[in-house]
Structure 1
Amino acid sequence: MGEKKKPRVNMTMRLRVLTALFLVIGFGLVGVRLLYMQVFHHDFYIQKATSLQTRDTFITPNRGKIYDANMQVLAESAEVERITVSPKAVVSETKEKNGVTADVQRQTLATILSETLDVSYDSVMEKLNKTDSEYEIIAQKVDKDVTKELNAKLEAAGCTGVYSEPDTKRYYQHGSFLSAVLGYVGSDNNGAYGIESQYNDELSGTAGRIVRVQNAQNEDIVPDTQQYIPAKDGNSLVLTIDSDIQNYLEKHLETAFADNPEARDGVSGIVMNIKTGEVLAMANLPDFDPNDAYHLTSEVYINELKTDVQKILTDAKIAAVIPDKWYEEGGLANLPEELQKNDDIVSKLGSARVNILMKTWRNPVVSDNYEPGSTFKLMTVATAYELGEVNEDSSFYCGGSLMVGDWKEPINCANTSGHGMQTLTEALMNSCNVAMMQIVQKVGMARFYEFYKAFGLLDQTGIDLPGESRGQFHNTSETSDWNEVALATASFGQRFTVTPMQMITMVSAIVDDGKLKKPYVVKNVLNADGTIKSTTDPEVLRQVISEDTSAYMREAMEQVVAAGTGKNAYVTGYRIGGKTATSEIEKERDETGKITDTEDRYTASFIGVAPMDDPQIAVLVAINDLPESAPHGGGAIAAPVVGRIMEDVLPYIGVTASYDEDESDRREQTVPNVIGMTRDAADEALTNSGFEYIIHGEGETVTDQVPSSGIRIPASGRVILYMGEEKPTEQIEVPDVSGMDPDTCRDTLEEYGLYLKQRGVATSQITGDTTASSQSPAAGTKVSIGSVITVEFSDTTTVNDR
């Protein structure tokens, strides 16, 4: 019996040995693996585990504020939230066990997210189906009240995997105000265009972080291990822009744009402090709202986009009607369904719309080139005067044209019948091309080019705005490009280009004792706590001309406005100087080089300076890309705009009006209160105040008066006294005075019991061609008796400056 059991014992022993061996080998392998993982590759696996358990959330810092020169807030950021999902955490296993499939759970969540956050259901579903992802952004810049509403819906539906993170949203307090200068902030909180882009590093700040250790269900494993690194808010900027002056500029540019609807590239303007180089105002129309930068609102640009789109559809032989909503807002969903699946057409339409948007975002004052035309004559004369080649006693004969070099055709003056003999100042007043060509022949190509460089026209001005251009001049190393003919046309500002910013800095140097300054728009950078980090000081780049030359140029420029082509920029009581221009534009061509313009086109511009005894501000206005069939003269349509801006800005900056004898008819005085006085007492009070009067009634005392006391009217206006009679109470309909000369206009208004406030051409320069061009209030408006009607007079026949 004992011998029979021996094999079983041996078998048992072998099994035990094998089991022990397997255990040893198994634990050995585990040990080796643990040694491999915990010793030799410890860092790798720690990093792997950490990456799977760690949730890292970035905190967007508050972007710095942008203030105007008076510390009014122009742009600031507010706290909002970013909504994200973790597709891995969206599906609940508990719900699946209760019969709610994963697809249904995702669909329910997508519906809630799309409806509450106003995002596409399909795009949300696409992100929820990325089941390998732990982080997908659903919506950004979500207001907190919307997030609160969303959380309530998610809780009610039992949805999981949705999170909110701190974010910021940029707000521009005044909509499109100053948009070309400010630019805007994109969805990534980085600046695009304008100051937002130029100073992005200063404004952005540094992002913060929240680091959590979480399990697969996105629950904190150890709450106390959360790390919070606060965001560092961005610095703020104080601009040189004065919001009140900016308002004046934009108001008058809007009128200019409305008055010149055929200006293909809109209107532009700058107001600059001559003494410092500070930009006080800068604007372009059409503009955009930086709060909604991708929304097109300008009819001009929408119509241009429609033309581009029609060409795309025609070339593709597609007949489709694209709704206005797409032109305004863009977006695939706003295109007709038959186009949405045509990737090629969708791409071309999107590109066309982006091209138009970029036109609205750009700042042509610094980035666009144009031929300056006759405003450039200021440099020609200043250069020749500085070199001693001409003086105030020099004279020039203009017969209407001049033959130059080997050019086969005469080069014409704007006045093709000629100006006859004229002094240097008169040549500027007349904007005479022939005189400029004669002057520049004395200067010569080399010296002209040296002064062109000295005035900074070959370089960017260095203004702290992005996208600045530098214009283009002739290739002076090629005689085929830079020769006598090129010099002649350059003398009156044609066949080369500059930027408006280059022009206004050049003119400012000419009138400010010859000192060329660097323009700028940011005065201070503020730390997040409001202390000053840095200040921009005025910078004189170089002395270009002497004080004597500058003094002569100021006198000549004043005469341009007083009695020359700039007479429509005249402002009563102020000494204004300037120069007009009507510059030709090269015709547009298609891809094959064929000219597409059917007529000649022009830029009408004017640069004004005031006050001429001590220049403080320079104003440039350009009305861009006008057809010859429309009014296009700088003296006729741009000079009046500068005059209106000056009339608002000069009193605002503290320049007091001063009237000489020639302006006595426009001096305004305050009407005294004579109600209750006897006739003799009223006579004395009104006479002492410089007013004439008429009487209605035969009472012993004044029972009423028109205008009421405290109203300012021209000294030439007559006060109406009611002696025992009641003043009429019914309102008067303002008559239409357009086209009337000043005397007829005044008489007409007085017949209605209204008073004329005359603006525009100086009284000494009024001719039979000086007529009313605008009035406020408009014709047909109901006003009270005694109201003052402001009428602007202009002259379109003696201001030709081409």
Structure 2
Amino acid sequence: MATDFKKQGLKRITILAVVIAFLFSLDAFRVFYISTVKGDEYSAKAESQQLSDSEIPAKRGSIYDSDGNVLAQSATTWDIFLDSKNITNKSRDKVVNGLAKILKLDDEGKAELLKKSKKDTHYVIIAEQVENDIKEEITAFKIKNKFSNMIGTEQNTKRYYPYGEFASNVLGFTGEDNQGLYGLEYYYEDELRGTNGRIITVKDAQKHNLPTDYETSIDAVDGNSLVLTLNQNVQYTLEKNLSATMNEYKAKGAYGVVMNCKTGGVLAMASLPDYDCNEPYKLTYSKNIKAIEKITDEDEKIAAKSEAIQNQWNNFVTSSTYEPGSVFKTFIAAAALEENIVNLNTTYTCTGSIRVKDYVMRCHYHPGHGTETFTQGLENSCNPFFITVGQKLGVHNYFKYFEAFGFTQKTGIDLPGEAGSQYYKENQYGLVELSSASFGQSNSLTPIQLCTGLCAIANGGKLLKPYVVDHVVDANGNTVKKTQPTEIRRVISEDTSKKVRGMMKSVVDNGTGKNGYVAGFRVGGKTGTSTKLAESTNDKTKYIVSFAAIAPSDDPQVAMIIIMDEPNQDLGGGALCAPIAAQVVETCMQEMNIEPEYDEKESKNLSVYTPNVIGKSVGEAKSVLGSKNLKCKVIGDGKKVVRQSPASSSTIPTNGTVVLYTTKEEKKTVTVPDFSGLTISEANALASENSLNIEISGINLSASNVVAYRQSTEKGATVSAGTVITVSFKNTNSVLD
């Protein structure tokens, strides 16, 4: 009995031992499974619960013009988030109402905020890139109400463009996450963006951050900055004049590029209509806005708006092609002179047309120019003359120079989306194609290709690579990259370059480019027109007109192409684009510190500084003014001059009138009249009638058929008698060449 009892006890102990051993083995296996098989997974989960990993955004590099003016910069902003899990039902209304008020949310925004406050998460963004004053207000709100475990802020950055639309097609813009989407912002993304940093913080069981002793941080590395070749004043002059002409003639677009022909650096580049870099999705051109507003179908309206927005992002100068028209004759002239096929005195008799096989190709001047020299042929933009020159040049030589000037390949400019040219290959030319190409039709080029080729004509024959970024600097201001001028090849000799420059100067002095004249500087130019293909048989003929310019023509520093796309009047590049080029040339010369050199005629018409005659007797004042070839008008019956207009040391045209006041109480004001459409003599008479002076700009005073088209002070403005108004004139003779 005792033995059985012992056996049963031993059996129970054995079973218990086995059970215990089994349980221990299960625990051991579980420990093994958790630590070895699932170790990495559980470790990561634990770490995610114990650690907070926050990103410190790097500051994007700035973009400067050539003089150091800020064109794009990043500033610190803040993202606001909620720890929704910590928001109680009791505190929710106060949190939502307070934040909605600070963030100025409408009813829809407030409803969305309430929805986010109920999410089962420790992190939900409710506002991005808010300014520091808003962030400070939110911080004060959460501290006051003890909501610090419910509302959080994180540092972010926002891109700002101080000048809005200025150089927008060059600069581009960034997206919501601060990455470059277009223009230089996109092309130089790797330089600009920098490297984000991190802050890793340990949390306790209640998800609260532990003291900073447990914090690890990796500093952000700010992006590099770009210093451009763009000159702010040249860019502004280009944009202002393109915009004025585009709006006046309701053009589809207006484009221009200005280059330093000695280096290849781009001084200005514009493609209108453009956009505000701060609001890139907003339409800017009133003509497009009005056209879209008239569309009644909603889907069609949305599609039209989307297309218009994308078009205003497009940089026509680099990303689109067009037939250059007669501007291309400068390159034919260079090739023919280089090959000794013609000289400056080679003559041709233009009858108004020329037959090429079964086609009659006409000159823009249908009666014909008669007998003319090669230089006169360029002055007159004579198509038949250049057709014969192209035929003498032959397909092989023509294509050799077409290729040498860089027209068969992209320029490699440091901007995104550069288009390639569309052209006939050498083996595709027949006599008709060669003849058409010789006056700028058949082949389509980008404006940047044309301007780069023009630089080669201007600088003595060297084809240079164009560029926009002069150098790259790091966050400490150290230069890390510097762009050096790159010569691609020599295209023509210095002698040929000099001859073509002289021919281009004659175009401005005597030919179709008279409106490119700038007093004191020798400007060379060439007008151009190309006919656009009609979209339907009922379409009115549409044109792209242009003007190419170099200055000063004896030693060119700049070259430019100015283009007007589909103006609403049949006016050529000489009427629409050459006046713009003249304004840009004048600014370029000032910015480059190139002093004007006036000829005898120009010197006689220079403005003078108004002498100071205050305090002198009326008789003495008249004598002083007379010695400067100035007239005077006396107001009041006093003995001495107490006030004058224009003020002393300001400029006044020769033979201008100074208004002299002899009593302090007297002060005469006048209303500025409208000078537009008047001849120089008519404008002078109207100015004199209204006790005003006019400064004549934009045309050689000896030129005929000129009228006023712009004035520095708008009509209807009230100004002091004697005020000087700058009135711009242009030649009214316009050809579609």
Letter in 1 for 2:410: Q
Q: Secondary structure at the match of 1:470?
A: coil
CA contact (8 A) 2:319 2:419 kept: yes
Which residue of 399, 403, 427 maps to 1:449?
Answer: 399
| Residues 211, 228 of structure 1: 8 Å contact kept | yes
User: Which residue, 502, 508, 512 being the options, matches 2:449?
Assistant: 502
Cα distance in structure 2, aligned partners of 1:694 and 1:161: 77
1:143 equivalenced with 2:131 (yes/no): yes
- CA distance in 1 between partners of 2:173 and 2:472 (Å): 18
Q: Give 1:54 deviation, angstroms.
A: 3.1
Task: Flag the 1:729–1:678 CA change in 2: closer, same or farther, 3 A.
Answer: closer
Aligned match of 2:47: 50
Q: Which residue of 2 aligns with 1:568?
A: 515
List per-residue Cα deviations over 1:662-711 (Å, max 9, x = no partner).
Answer: 33453111232345557886576445534466889999877776644323
CA distance in 1, matches of 2:442, 2:619: 69
Change in Cα spacing, 1:311 to 1:403, as seen in structure 2 (3 Å) is farther
User: Does 1:598 pair with 2:539?
Assistant: yes
Give the Cα–Cα distance (whole angstroms) in 2 for the partners of residues 208 and 699 of structure 1: 76
Distance 1:237 1:197 in 2: 13
Give the secondary structure class of the aligned counterpart of 1:291.
coil
Q: Structure 1 length as normaliser, TM-score?
A: 0.84
1:232 counterpart SS class:
coil
Structure 2 Cα separation of the partners of residues 693 and 396 of structure 1: 55
Q: State the SS of the aligned residue for 1:403.
A: strand
Q: Deviations over 1:54-92 (max 9, x none)?
A: 332211001111111111222211111223445xx5256
Query: Aligned runs of 1:463-474 on 2, under 5 Å?
Result: 463-474=413-424
SS of match in other structure, 1:444: helix
What amino acid is the match of 1:69? S
Conserved 8 A contact 2:81-2:124 = yes
- Is 2:606 aligned against 1:611? no
Distance 1:370 1:109, change over 3 A: farther
- Measure, in 2, the Cα distance between the counterparts of 1:109 and 1:551: 76
Aligned to 2:231: 242
Count of residues in Structure 1 that have an aligned counterpart in Structure 2: 733
Cα offsets for 1:155-204 (capped at 9, x unmatched): 63858554322211111122221211111111111111111111111111
CA contact (8 A) 1:374 1:801 kept: no
What's the offset of the Cα at 1:233? 0.7
Secondary structure of the structure 2 residue equivalent to 1:192: coil
The yes-or-no answer on 1:413 pairing with 2:363 is yes
Superposed displacement of residue 387, structure 1: 0.7
Question: Which residue does 1:67 correspond to in 2?
Answer: 64
Q: Deviations over 1:471-523 (max 9, x none)?
A: 21124444xxx322121111111122111111111111111101111111111
Partner AA of 1:729 in structure 2: K
Q: In the alignment, residue 274 of structure 1 is paired with which amino acid?
A: C
Equivalent residues of 2:571, 2:735 under 8 A apart: no
1:596 & 1:84 partners in 2: Cα distance? 60
Identity %: 37
The answer for the alignment partner of 1:268 in structure 2 is 255
CA deviation after TM superposition for structure 1 residue 636, in Å: 1.0
Match of 1:764 among 679, 691, 702: 702
1:403-444 alpha-carbon deviations (Å, 9 max, x no partner): 11343xx11111111111111111111111111111101111
In the alignment, is the contact (CA less than 8 A) between 1:666 and 1:757 conserved in 2? no
Q: Say yes or no: does 1:383 pair with 2:335.
A: yes
Q: Which amino acid aligns with 1:54?
A: L
SS at match of 2:726: strand
- Please name the residue that 2:725 is paired with: 789
| 1:430/1:801 contact within 8 Å kept | no
Counterparts of 1:702 and 1:662, CA distance in 2 = 34
Distance 1:33 1:779 in 2: 92
Match of 2:289 in 1: 302
Distance change >3 Å, CA 491–CA 135, structure 1 → 2: farther
Report if the CA contact (8 A) 1:90-1:162 is conserved. no
What corresponds to 1:90 in structure 2?
85
* Residues in 2 aligned to 1:294 and 1:745: alpha-carbon distance in whole angstroms: 44
2:129·2:156 contact (CA, 8 Å) conserved in 1?
Answer: yes
Contact kept? 1:565, 1:801, Cα under 8 Å = no
Aligned match for 2:502, one of 537, 540, 555? 555
Query: Mapping of 1:321-336 within 5 angstroms?
Result: none
CA distance in 2: counterparts of 1:618 and 1:107, whole angstroms: 65
Equivalent of 1:440 in 371, 384, 390: 390
Aligned partner of 1:90: which letter? Answer: K
Partner residue in 2 for 1:31? 28
| 1:560-582 deviations in Å (ceiling 9; x for gaps) | 11111111121222211111112
Work out whether 1:361 is the aligned partner of 2:296. Answer: no
TM-score, normalising length: structure 2: 0.91
Q: 1:124 to 1:356 in 2, by over 3 A?
A: farther
AA aligned opposite 1:671: T
2:282 alignment partner AA: H
Q: Distance in 1 between matches of 2:650 and 2:309?
A: 47
- The change in CA–CA distance for 1:709 and 1:32 in structure 2 (over 3 A counts) is closer
AA aligned to 1:765 is A
* 8 Å CA contact retained: 1:456, 1:506: yes
C-alpha distance in structure 2 between counterparts of 1:790 and 1:200, whole Å: 44
Q: What is residue 584 of structure 2 aligned with on the other side? A: 645
Letter in 1 for 2:405: F
Partner of 1:370: 322
Distance 1:638 1:758 in 2: 19
Aligned residue number for residue 529 of structure 2 = 582
Change (3 A) 1:612 1:136: same
Mapped contact 2:72–2:160 kept (Cα < 8 A): yes
Closer/same/farther in 2, CA of residues 428 and 217 from structure 1, 3 Å limit = farther
Q: Which residue of 2 aligns with 1:186?
A: 175
In structure 2, the CA distance between the partners of 1:48 and 1:720, relative to structure 1 (3 Å rule), is closer
Matched, 1:231 2:220: yes
> Once structures 1 and 2 are overlaid, which stretch shifts more, 678-687 or 183-192?
678-687
Which residue identity is paired with 1:459? Answer: Q
Q: Which residue of the partner structure matches residue 488 of structure 1?
A: 435
Ranges in structure 1 where 5+ consecutive residues have no aligned partner: 315-321, 323-348, 589-594
Summarize deviations over 1:200-232 as a string: whole Å, max 9, x none.
111111111112333564323675332211111
Aligned residue number for residue 633 of structure 1: 572
**AA partner of residue 180 (structure 1):** N
In structure 2, relative to structure 1, the CA distance for the partners of 1:414 and 1:240 (3 Å cut) is same
CA 1:8–1:295 in 2, change beyond 3 Å: closer, same or farther? Answer: farther
Q: Equivalent residue of 1:22, what SS?
A: helix
